[in-house]
Chains A and B, each alone.
Chain A
């Protein structure tokens, strides 16, 4: 087993995993009576609609079978009949805790296909919005983990900060949850002075204090740590095999981050670190997300301080809507507006894969265009869907209360799971 790990120890951190022994691998015995327990599909602790049929030996989980697909909406099929700009609204509904990341990931995929170079200012605005989205994603995940362990106050306390983030979304694009932010070729409008003031207030004043207080509530809290430490551990080798990416992978000690390994949208301009854990248990996942929030704050602070001047959209007449004023006064703008809205423009032939670092890991868009107005095939690489497979292995030998915190710390989002 160990020989198959395709990594050298000097380049990536491979911790000697001490938790393999912790996962009690209870074999099923033929003539023994087991009880079956349904965790879900609707259960307050599953945070979404998915079912786990647990086979229990007394209090211990010996096996579990997952049923997913309760909110499957056939996005990949729908996308085959939609013009490119209309697919953005579908991506909103994948990981709805951090929809701007999905939106921009999709826009960048199409821009890659079209060969559009987006101006620096638009890229910086995107970075700011994506990092805000990552903060709100991690904030929800970590505070809900608190709720699942009985600590409600942290959740209520940070919720006002998420409200501020959503107000910034509202200022930038008009929507709060399903943002549909930006356009192919840039942003739909520049950051308004109000938006900049709100972002500055959030990242320099209010949020760091709140997050520091959130950490003091949890990080060294004995009850909380006893509850989540050494629970649901997975080794880095197994995590890689299971296709883990994002914070869940980094908690096992592998420093893989798409923002660093394949920088997109000017991420190479910013100075930040990748927090990693070393055991891959629930506590490490919690701490990695906590650390990432601080790094995201650092990125936003750098981006807002060094926000470049210049246009906020690329010169791409065929996909970027002309200004409304011109649509009403000039013939060309009206024609382009009509053609874009009706989706009459054929995309070039091509096969593109573009990945962004979503809230949960590598969010990939595999797009095949046959030269039509819609994609020939669009596949979303959804991190939740891929790593949720490991859940039975992670909760084997543990109790139901552990299974709940493991699911919570994996941050499985039903929208992303089922697409």
Chain B
């Protein structure tokens, strides 16, 4: 029987200190790894004879402005259809040098999702075959989903945050 505990056991047994921050929000196993180990960890889960995490469900970026040294997060979610279990893997990278290896070598589906994450967060996927903006216009010079870009016009005084914002 494959469950979160057995995956944690196997992954920690294989990678030791390279994987950390295990948690299970709403039953979905989540852990963190280093950018340099991402390909190895995801490849291990994909090709594992029992786990068979053969499907990349989702890939997204997150910006944590207060997390110094790891402001940007690239999170990917794998799904094992045979065992019907999901796992979420996070990589934190500094905003000054946001470089994450690409998953396109393992999943073709990662191509556009990584382009989207690059487009909105500026995370550079090393080795991506065609890393350019996808939804925004190509001459845009900033990454709009980062938290420093407010949605509302910052010069407006009537829309104060206490009433209308976060």
Instruction: Please list the residues of chain A having a beta carbon within 8 angstroms of any beta carbon in chain B.
Output: 4-8, 11-12, 68-69, 72, 74, 76-78, 80-81, 112, 238, 240-243, 254, 256, 261-262, 342, 350-353, 355, 362, 364, 366, 368, 372-374, 377, 379, 381, 385-386, 388-390, 418-419
Residue on A with the closest CB to B48? Answer: A6
Given contacts A69-B134, A243-B56, A386-B109, contact A81 B81 (CB under 8 A): no
Tell me which residues across on chain B come within 8 A of A74, comparing CB atoms. Answer: 144
- Which of A241, A261, A374, A390 makes the CB contact (< 8 A) with B81? A261
Tell me which residues across on chain A come within 8 A of B82, comparing CB atoms. Answer: 6-8, 11-12
Residue on A with the closest CB to B23? Answer: A351
Whether B54 and A385, one on each chain, are in contact in the complex, defined by CB atoms closer than 8 angstroms, is: no
Q: How large is the interface on B (under 10, 10 to 19, 20 to 34, 35 or more residues)?
A: 35 or more
Whether A379 and B58, one on each chain, are in contact in the complex, defined by CB atoms closer than 8 angstroms, is: yes
Given contacts A6-B54, A12-B82, A74-B144, contact A418 B107 (CB under 8 A): no
Give 8 A-B contacts (CB < 8 Å), ordered by A residue.
A6-B46, A12-B81, A352-B25, A353-B28, A355-B57, A377-B62, A379-B58, A386-B109
Tell me which residues across on chain A come within 8 A of B55, comparing CB atoms. Answer: 240, 243
Tell me, in angstroms, the Cα distance from A69 to B120 when the chains sit together.
13
Residue on B with the closest CB to A378? Answer: B60
**Which of A80, A243, A342, A381 is most buried by chain B, counting CB atoms within 10 A of its CB?**
A243
Whether A7 and B81, one on each chain, are in contact in the complex, defined by CB atoms closer than 8 angstroms, is: yes
**Which of A72, A353, A362, A385 is most buried by chain B, counting CB atoms within 10 A of its CB?**
A353
Tell me which residues across on chain B come within 8 A of A419, comparing CB atoms. Answer: 135
Given contacts A350-B26, A351-B25, contact A81 B151 (CB under 8 A): yes
Residue on B with the closest CB to A4? Answer: B47
Tell me which residues across on chain A come within 8 A of B113, comparing CB atoms. Answer: 385-386
Tell me which residues across on chain A come within 8 A of B77, comparing CB atoms. Answer: 353, 366
Residue on B with the closest CB to A390? Answer: B108
Whether A76 and B26, one on each chain, are in contact in the complex, defined by CB atoms closer than 8 angstroms, is: no
Residue on A with the closest CB to B62? Answer: A377
Task: Report if B152 contacts A (CB, 8 A).
Answer: yes
Whether A81 and B136, one on each chain, are in contact in the complex, defined by CB atoms closer than 8 angstroms, is: no
- Which of B30, B86, B111 makes the CB contact (< 8 A) with A351? B30
Tell me, in angstroms, the Cα distance from A47 to B46 when the chains sit together.
36
Whether B54 and A5, one on each chain, are in contact in the complex, defined by CB atoms closer than 8 angstroms, is: yes
- Which of A6, A78, A241, A388 makes the CB contact (< 8 A) with B47? A6
Residue on A with the closest CB to B109? Answer: A243
Q: Mark B49-86, 1 if CB is under 8 A from A, else 0.
A: 00011111110101100000000000101001110101
Residue on A with the closest CB to B120? Answer: A76
